[in-house]
Amino acid sequence: MLYLLGIDVGTSVVKSVLFNLRGEEIVVSRRTPAIIRERQGWSEMSMEALWQDVLATLREVASSEALRHGEIAGIGLSGMCCSSWLLDDAGRPVRNAILWNDGRAASIIADWQREGVMDEVFRIGGNIMFPGYTVAVLRWLQENEPETLERARWSVFCKDWIRFKLTGKIATEHSDAGYTPYDLRASAYSDTLLRACGIESTRRLLPEVLDSDEITGELLPEVAQVTGLRAGIPVVAGLVDVAASTLGAGAYRPGQACTIVGTSFLNNFIYAEPSFEPAGIGVQTRAGNGGWVRSLVNTAGTMNLEWFLQEFCAAERAAAEAEGRNIYEWAEAVAAEIPIGCEGVIYHPYLNTAGVIAPFLNPVARAQFFGISVEHTRAHLLRAVYEGTALAMLDNYMRVNLEVDEWYIAGGGKRSPFWTQMFADATGRAILVPAGEELGARGVAVLAGVASGVYSSVEDAMRQVIHVTREHQPNPEAHEKYLKVYQLYRRIYEHVMDDWWERYHLLNEL
């Protein structure tokens, strides 16, 4: 029996997933990588420790009962976007990776906004940058750790580091390179933008760019020996996590959309060509089927709910875990008792230290509750967290110039029928929930299947692996209410844009 293996390296979870050819998860192995936070707003990861986490998951897959009676036809890789993953001449890490949600380059982003650099980046690259963007981190390193760049020979991305360790091949591919940034129309690195960002000297660090479904090498014998996998398995270039999850959820053609309600919160819209209208919002890169995925990113998705449950419902969470109950069922039951609009409480879900990328750019924006009085309870705040995330989804949809005919949900948030119905009510669009949990890994496994000849095309693969388990139709009355709440939701954050920067400067002074 043939299987496909998808390796998905996320910020909070590293996963190796074995799929059958129907896209069903046969074996899933997970590890939790350690995040290093030496200073406020910093977010780093040991590259060697991450590789050991990947090896541990591969060993578990290799020892599974399924592979006693079958073999892997191909391996695909997905990884977190942007960041800085620097290697020396020998392929050794130069320093810890600086991750996409790192905030140390916030002042550089602010300067680029003020100087018009951001406008130039969007005009050519179709992207709005945030502090964890590769070019912003490289600029920070140039100013603060020049010796690091002097030791570096390659600047790759997360999945490229893992693929190098698997195959010995240093390269990247178009979906990750699209966030370098590069010239979207030319599908190539942009020397113009590197000069605009003041880091033209780092051009020497950028590797070859490959197609996502291109076979880049084979599993090395030494990796096979320590994992138990078969040497020589073909490994494809892969996709950045955003594009991988979008494809794995079922969105691959123009007019489809996929919202990833995970640690981050990405609203991804598939276009036939690069989209530059409306200007100045979101990020954009190549999709997994020759199109383009434009992502309007809030940067904080399920982390809003996880944070609230941890900080304000710790006793209920502990009791649920002790009794084998689901804390999320409790949370939804509590939130469902509160009416739409939370009786005046509004939550902006900007919890991530990376701030907000869309529908506006503010790297120092932070979450906030508005309208609390003595009449409100914890239940009001809990529902406001759910609603604030749904309103962020609506907020982004209001900005795109695309008629969406199919809208899928991926990420941990899709497990909640309460939340997914709220997404439908807020946006006024039907929401499709695909079967499966590991959609990022499935997206790159599909590419491995196409490259190895298991599927004749991405379209052929989608027909075989995508199955919708739930469909949520919007309630018209609820939608009208959410549209009214949204007007206030938007006015509030428009009024405090400068206040967020004042807070940022105050914290630096204190």
Q: Which pLDDT belongs to residue 263?
A: 82
H or E element that contains 252:
none
> What local confidence, expressed as pLDDT, does residue 271 receive?
94
Whole-number pLDDT of residue 349: 97
Please, are residues 279 and 320 in contact by the beta-carbon 8 Å criterion? no
Cα 374 from chain centroid (whole Å): 38
Residues 170 and 123 sit within 8 Å (Cβ to Cβ): no
In the chain, where the domains are located: 2-249
Kind plus residue range of the DSSP H or E element containing 473: none
Extended beta strands in 62-101, E state = 71-79, 85-87, 97-98
Cα–Cα distance, 411 to 438 (Å, whole number):
8
Looking only at the bridges linking them, the beta strands covering 14-19 and 2-9 are antiparallel
How many CA atoms lie less than 13 Å away from 336 in the CB half-sphere? 11
Q: pLDDT tens digits for the chain (510 residues)?
A: 999 999 999 998 999 999 999 999 999 999 999 999 999 889 999 999 999 999 999 999 999 999 998 999 999 999 999 999 999 999 999 999 999 989 999 999 999 999 999 999 999 999 988 899 999 999 999 999 999 999 999 999 999 999 999 999 999 999 999 998 799 999 999 999 999 999 999 999 999 999 999 999 999 999 999 999 999 999 999 999 999 999 999 999 999 999 999 888 989 999 999 999 888 888 999 998 889 999 998 889 999 999 999 999 999 999 999 999 999 999 999 999 999 999 999 999 999 887 888 898 888 999 999 999 999 999 999 999 999 999 999 999 999 988 899 999 998 899 999 999 999 999 999 999 999 999 999 999 999 999 999 999 999 999 999 999 999 999 999 999 999 999 999 999 999 999 999 999 999 899
Q: Give pLDDT, residue 278.
A: 84
Do the Cβ atoms of 316 and 279 come closer than 8 Å? no
User: Which of 252, 282, 286 has the alpha carbon at shortest distance from 267?
Assistant: 282
**Whole-number pLDDT of residue 345:** 98
Structure tokens at 151: 């030791």
Question: By C-alpha distance, which of 159, 134, 287, 178 is closest to 216?
Answer: 159
Distance (Å, rounded) from C-alpha 202 to C-alpha 135? 9
With a CB cutoff of 8 Å and minimum separation 6, the contacts of 414 are: 261, 420, 433, 434
Task: Give the distance, in angstroms, between the CA of residue 441 and the centroid of all CA atoms in the same chain.
Answer: 13
Q: How big is the chain by its Cα radius of gyration, in Å?
A: 22
2-249 CATH: 3.30.420.40
Q: Residue 104 corresponds to which tokens in the numbers above?
A: 């140390």
Q: DSSP assignment, residue 510?
A: -
The whole-number pLDDT of residue 207 equals: 97
- Cα 293 to its chain centre, rounded Å, is 12
Task: State whether the Cα torsion 374-380-382-385 is positive or negative.
Answer: negative
Q: How far apart are CA 77 and CA 69, in angstroms?
A: 24
Q: What is the pTM of this model?
A: 0.89
What's 396's DSSP letter? Answer: H
CA angle 62, 68, 71 (to 5 degrees): 70
